Amino acid sequence: MNVQPIKQRFGIIGASPLLDRAIEIAAQVAPTDLSVLISGESGSGKEVMPQIVHAFSARKHGPYIAVNCGAIPEGTIDSELFGHEKGAFTGAHEARKGYFEVANGGTIFLDEVGELPLATQVRLLRVLETGEFIRVGSSKAQKTDVRVVAATNVDMLQAVQRGRFREDLYYRLNTVPIHVPALRERPEDIHLLFRWFAQEAATRYKAPPITLSEKARQLLTAYRWPGNVRQLRNLTEQISVIEKEREIGAETLASYLPRESTALVPAGELGTAQGMEAINERELIFKFLFDMKSDLNALKEQVRLLGGAAQGMVAHQPPAPYPDQILLAHGADGGMSISMPDRADEEVEHTEVQESLSLEEKERELIQKALDKHRGKRKKAAQELGISERTLYRKIKEWNIG
């Protein structure tokens, strides 16, 4: 199948076989009414695939509605998707149609579908199986004829195993899977995209397009691009505006690349990427571990100072141990004991400090600190923690954080 006309129509840049395969599947499944689940990292360009599916389907003259499930608060998402009756809840001054009612006869794109609450997942499953939905505050079932295309940047099977996503809904959505490759999985497209974005920026700002030296080009290709195409576009535009020299060297390019420990790695060495939800949770755990390391180092210093003070007060007491002599041992309760070592010929009282190593407690403490810092503003707290608002809402509810 020739995918070049599709690329030209939708402004898709790239020659990667993985990208071509994703486009080919989208075009082939379009004439059917099968549900499609698009997977891929954030910023990889998943949003163009449902547009292809809709444009080449029999529903192309019907409505097309894109919904970001992760951006809608949990308390209002049912109303947004399925509508509500007048007086269904505080503030519902009149009846309102939901997206599934408005998109009747067309296509609805559910982006970040993995962020849907479990209660909403049940409603969505009913729509997919029977074509029926019920407005919030109503008992009357209504019919809708909608083609559902969903997208996610999380590992859905992992979400199913953790009980965060219904298994039956996953298989119902995943009738036809389409994977959009990450930018590092299509290294042959990186410089091609850079040149395209550079030309766009040159036209927009009426300046000659920037180019790269050979070493800068190698650096561009070797970079991991955690933000994918979106990150590359932003970086290219930033350099185009700021730099006066039109040829960019490796040193100049490196100054614009975030200094991440996993960023400057040849493509393929890190294996397949995990979903964004897993990445966010892993980042939280890393923060907890760094916090604990700092706490332990502080405790070691306190123990050393206490030992030194005791030596000055009591002449016959043995000198305090060096920091590397402090013993760390896991207690029966899961905590960690920090104690002074015994000497064979001397009697030394042990100084113990209990430090909880519970990641759950650290997680709750970090979330509470972020909320306190931003005076309860959850959006800013989520940005501080590096997680989505939906994930923060779930954690607040899970831990009953005030």
Mean pLDDT of the chain: 81
Tens-place pLDDT, residues 63-78: 999 999 999 988 899 9
Q: Which fold has domain 4-181?
A: Rossmann fold (3.40.50)
Q: Which two tokens stand for residue 247?
A: 């040829």
Q: Which two tokens stand for residue 88?
A: 């269904």
Class in CATH terms, 359-399: mainly alpha
Global pTM exceeds 0.85? no
pLDDT band with cut points at 50, 70 and 90 for residue 269: very low
Tens-place pLDDT, residues 215-240: 999 999 999 999 999 999 999 999 99
Instruction: Report how far apart, in Å, the C-alpha atoms of 5 and of each of 47, 154, 190, 317, 346 are.
Output: 18, 31, 21, 85, 84
Q: What is the 3-state secondary structure of 335-363?
A: EEEEECCCECCECCCCCCCEEECCHHHHH
| C-alpha 61 chain-centroid distance | 33
The stretch 233-257 carries a mean pLDDT of 93
Q: How far apart are the first and last CA of the chain?
A: 56
Check whether 337 has a pLDDT greater than 70: no
Residue in 257, 240, 244 with CA at minimum distance from that of residue 199: 240
The highest-confidence range among 70-79, 361-370, 385-394, by mean pLDDT, is 70-79
Does 359-399 match 4-181 at the fold level?
Answer: no
Q: Which amino acid is at 108?
A: I
pLDDT band with cut points at 50, 70 and 90 for residue 27: very high
User: Which is higher by pLDDT, 21 or 339?
Assistant: 21
Residue 10 CB-density burial (10 A; 0-12 exposed, 13-18 middle, 19+ buried): middle
Are residues 29 and 49 in contact, defined by beta-carbon separation less than 8 angstroms? no
User: Which is higher by pLDDT, 376 or 212?
Assistant: 212
Domain boundaries, the chain: 4-181, 184-256, 276-356, 359-399
Q: Which amino acid is at 35?
A: S
Strand partners, 329: 337
Check whether 357 has a pLDDT greater than 60: no
Give the CATH number of domain 184-256.
Answer: 1.10.8.60
User: Which is higher by pLDDT, 344 or 101?
Assistant: 101
Residue 365: predicted pLDDT:
81
Lowest-confidence pick of 18-27, 92-101, 204-213: 92-101
